[in-house]
């Protein structure tokens, strides 16, 4: 009997994790970290609800840590089998894993200094750089469209999900006693308006479909409106002076921004400002993007020509500031800088220094281009907070905060439904995953009302027979 257990991202967004058992073999589909309120109280003592040594293979849909981030800990806990992912994700994961580990390790260092000063025992981090390097050794990159035998009963194929570089929809053919089943896992589906990547690939056949529902309750604002708003902010800053700060995720959003800013430069709308990419991680990621430019869409052949010679050929005057010294130098600029830096929700990283130096200035513009979770500084700024504390210093928020909603890397409600309705003529059993309960309910209702398609919302830990 083949079964599927929903171990994560069931009625929540993060911690993507599903366990498929065939009787003979155990395959882990995704191994993501839980973030924010999705975290369990016993998370640190009990990271896995299964024994990692009993898993035969792991499949990862894309580089985001809520889909991939637990692999180093899985390896530390005894897993030593293959970790299948796409070729581009294989090239991105070293950047993501090493960055995440160094953040964790420096957090523990700080914490342990405090503990030692208080005469207490220091604590051991959950995993270290050695575990990361060992995990990276296990990663097997497969190109889109190639069938791979994962174990004797299971075949795997990745299709382009268009969400971030290397992101995949996962197709699995599972031979079970009851007969053969095809399972399709949507992964995170991209937004059709994404400038660089292709639309999610159309798939027509499945017996079981796991569909992400991040934006199951609504559509995004039209991209054209977002771009107009973005242009207006830059125009205002050009006329009245002041810097523009953009907190941004290193994977995907930063590259999209360089694309839009390059287009604006070409139209003559960006002569007043210099664009700085102040994120060593985003610089490395951009490099991987250009190495895999064969995966870009064909919408803008000009862009593809330019990008062959580098991102700064597309956006002339683009400045990278990888070193801390170069980054600190930006603090002396009062005007004429567009600074793109992480972290995307202002929870850490270099953007904090820039916010500290610029938020109190009424001429500063902060442009929010991504999702801001409850409890983050980014969210507080969006909600109109007037005073913030950064690195122990009280900062008055006089800057203008702009929230641009149209840059999402996720499919909106209509796009999700359109993609799912490609499964024809036979409708698969549909399971909604990777969403807040409210978003899932709305999507479920719409599927029933408009398509007479009954979708099931599994709960965390639920097991179904395939
Ligand atoms: Zn994602
Ligand atoms: Zn996700």
Give per-residue pLDDT as tens, 235-271: 999 999 999 999 999 999 999 999 999 999 999 889 8
Q: What is the pLDDT of residues 400-446, one digit of tens each?
A: 999 998 888 999 999 999 999 999 999 999 999 999 999 999 999 99
Q: What is the pLDDT of residues 176-215, one digit of tens each?
A: 888 899 999 999 999 988 899 999 999 999 999 999 999 9
21-25, 121-125, 296-300: lowest mean pLDDT where? 296-300
| Mean pLDDT, range 91-109, rounded to an integer | 94
Dist. CA 457 → ligand 1 center (Å):
20
Q: What is the pLDDT of residues 348-358, one digit of tens each?
A: 899 999 999 99
| Mean pLDDT, range 62-84, rounded to an integer | 97
pLDDT score for 184? 98
pLDDT score for 140? 98
Q: What is the pLDDT of residues 121-138, one digit of tens each?
A: 999 999 999 999 999 999
pLDDT score for 305? 83
Does residue 360 surpass a pLDDT of 90? yes
Cα–Cα separations (whole angstroms), residue 329 to 33, 256, 325, 391: 35, 25, 6, 18
Residue, of 397 and 176, whose pLDDT is higher: 397
Dist. CA 367 → ligand 2 center (Å):
23
Per DSSP, the residues of 134-168 read HHHHTEEEE-TT-EEEEETTEEEEEEE--SSTT-E
Confidence of residue 340 (pLDDT cuts 50, 70, 90): very high
Does residue 41 surpass a pLDDT of 80? no
pLDDT score for 447? 95
Whether 22 contacts 466, CB under 8 Å: no
Q: Beginning with the edge strand found earlier in the chain, give each strand of the sheet holding 400-403 in spatial order.
A: 319-320, 274-277, 337-341, 244-247, 365-368, 400-403
Dist. CA 124 → ligand 1 center (Å):
29
Contacts of 3 (CB under 8 A, 6+ apart): 20, 21, 463, 464, 465, 466
32 alpha carbon, closest ligand: 2
Measured at the CA of 39, the angle between CA 35 and CA 44, to 5 degrees, comes to 110
Does residue 175 surpass a pLDDT of 80? yes
Dist. CA 188 → ligand 2 center (Å):
5
Instruction: Give the rounded distance of the alpha carbon of 304 from its chain centre.
Output: 23
Dist. CA 213 → ligand 2 center (Å):
10
pLDDT score for 1? 84
Which domains, from first to last, does the chain contain? 3-218+409-465 (3.60.15.10), 223-403 (3.40.50.10890)
253 alpha carbon, closest ligand: 1
Dist. CA 116 → ligand 2 center (Å):
38
Dist. CA 187 → ligand 2 center (Å):
7
Cα(309)–Cα(290) distance, integer angstroms: 9
| Mean pLDDT, range 302-321, rounded to an integer | 89
Closest CA to 185 of 410, 18, 348: 18
DSSP letter at 56?
Answer: -
Dist. CA 188 → ligand 1 center (Å):
5
Does residue 282 surpass a pLDDT of 90? yes
Dist. CA 62 → ligand 1 center (Å):
7
Contacts of 394 (CB under 8 A, 6+ apart): 387, 388
190 alpha carbon, closest ligand: 1
For the chain, give the mean pLDDT. 94
Does residue 278 surpass a pLDDT of 90? yes
Residue, of 145 and 35, whose pLDDT is higher: 145
pLDDT score for 48? 94
21-25, 35-39, 197-201, 224-228: lowest mean pLDDT where? 35-39
**Taking the CB of residue 453, how many other CB atoms lie within 10 A of it?**
17
Does residue 42 surpass a pLDDT of 80? no
Closest CA to 330 of 466, 338, 181: 338
pLDDT score for 218? 93
Helix (H) or strand (E) holding 264: helix 253-266
Dist. CA 456 → ligand 1 center (Å):
22
161 alpha carbon, closest ligand: 1
pLDDT score for 405? 83
Dist. CA 329 → ligand 2 center (Å):
35
pLDDT score for 461? 94
Dist. CA 434 → ligand 2 center (Å):
7
Confidence of residue 43 (pLDDT cuts 50, 70, 90): confident
Dist. CA 303 → ligand 1 center (Å):
24
SS3 content of the chain, % helix, strand, coil (to 5): 35, 20, 45
Instruction: Give the rounded distance of the alpha carbon of 176 from its chain centre.
Output: 33
Does residue 273 surpass a pLDDT of 90? yes
φ, ψ of residue 108 to 5 degrees: the values are -65, -35
Cα(356)–Cα(353) distance, integer angstroms: 5
Percent of the chain with pLDDT over 70: 100
If 0-12 CB within 10 Å is exposed, 13-18 middle and 19+ buried, where does residue 305 land? exposed
Percent of the chain with pLDDT over 90: 84
Dist. CA 163 → ligand 2 center (Å):
9
Dist. CA 233 → ligand 1 center (Å):
28
Dist. CA 153 → ligand 2 center (Å):
27
| Mean pLDDT, range 64-68, rounded to an integer | 95
Dist. CA 417 → ligand 1 center (Å):
18
Cα(346)–Cα(339) distance, integer angstroms: 13
Dist. CA 163 → ligand 1 center (Å):
7
pLDDT score for 178? 80
For residue 392, the SS3 value is coil
CA dihedral 384, 389, 390, 394 (to 10 degrees): 110
Dist. CA 432 → ligand 2 center (Å):
13
């Amino acid at each position: 009997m083949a079964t599927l257990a929903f171990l994560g991202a069931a009625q929540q967004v993060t911690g993507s994790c599903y366990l498929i058992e065939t009787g003979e073999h155990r395959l882990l589909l995704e191994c993501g970290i839980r973030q924010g309120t999705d975290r369990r109280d016993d998370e640190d003592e009990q990271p896995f609800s299964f024994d990692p040594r009993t898993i035969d293979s792991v499949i990862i849909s894309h580089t985001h840590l809520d889909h991939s981030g637990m692999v180093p800990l899985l390896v530390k806990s005894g897993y030593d089998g293959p970790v299948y992912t796409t070729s581009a994700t294989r090239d991105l994961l070293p950047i993501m894993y090493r960055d995440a580990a160094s953040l964790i390790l420096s957090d523990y260092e700080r914490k342990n200094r405090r503990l030692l000063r208080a005469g207490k025992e220091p604590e051991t981090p959950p995993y270290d750089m050695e575990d990361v390097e060992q995990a990276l050794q296990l990663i097997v990159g497969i190109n889109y469209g190639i069938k791979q035998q994962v174990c004797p009963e299971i075949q795997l194929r990745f299709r382009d999900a268009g969400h971030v570089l290397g992101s995949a929809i996962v197709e699995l053919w599972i031979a079970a006693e009851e007969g053969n089943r095809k399972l399709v896992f949507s992964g995170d589906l991209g937004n059709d308006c994404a400038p660089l990547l292709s639309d999610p690939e159309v798939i027509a056949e499945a017996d079981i479909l796991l569909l992400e529902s991040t934006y199951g309750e609504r559509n995004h604002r039209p991209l054209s409106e977002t771009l107009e708003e973005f242009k207006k902010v830059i125009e205002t800053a050009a006329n009245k002076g002041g810097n523009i700060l953009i907190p941004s995720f290193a994977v995907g959003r930063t590259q999209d921004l360089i694309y839009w800013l390059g287009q604006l430069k070409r139209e003559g709308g960006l002569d007043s400002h210099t664009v700085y990419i102040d994120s060593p991680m985003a610089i490395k990621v951009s490099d991987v993007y250009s190495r895999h430019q064969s995966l870009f869409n064909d919408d803008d052949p000009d862009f593809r020509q330019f990008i062959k010679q580098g991102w700064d050929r597309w956006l002339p005057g683009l400045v990278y500031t990888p070193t801390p010294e170069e980054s600190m130098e930006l603090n002396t600029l009062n005007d004429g800088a567009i600074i793109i830096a992480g972290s995307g929700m202002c929870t850490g990283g270099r953007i904090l220094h820039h916010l500290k130096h610029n938020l109190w200035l009424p001429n500063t513009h902060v442009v929010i281009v991504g999702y801001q979770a409850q409890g983050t500084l980014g969210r507080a700024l969006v909600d109109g907070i007037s005073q913030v504390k950064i690195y122990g210093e009280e900062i008055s928020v006089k800057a203008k905060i702009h929230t641009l909603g149209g840059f999402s890397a996720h499919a909106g409600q209509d796009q999700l439904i359109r993609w799912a309705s490609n499964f024809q003529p036979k409708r698969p059993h549909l399971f909604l995953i990777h969403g807040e309960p409210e978003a899932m309910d709305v999507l479920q209702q719409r599927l029933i009302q408009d398509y007479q398609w009954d979708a099931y919302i599994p709960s965390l830990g639920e097991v179904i027979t395939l």
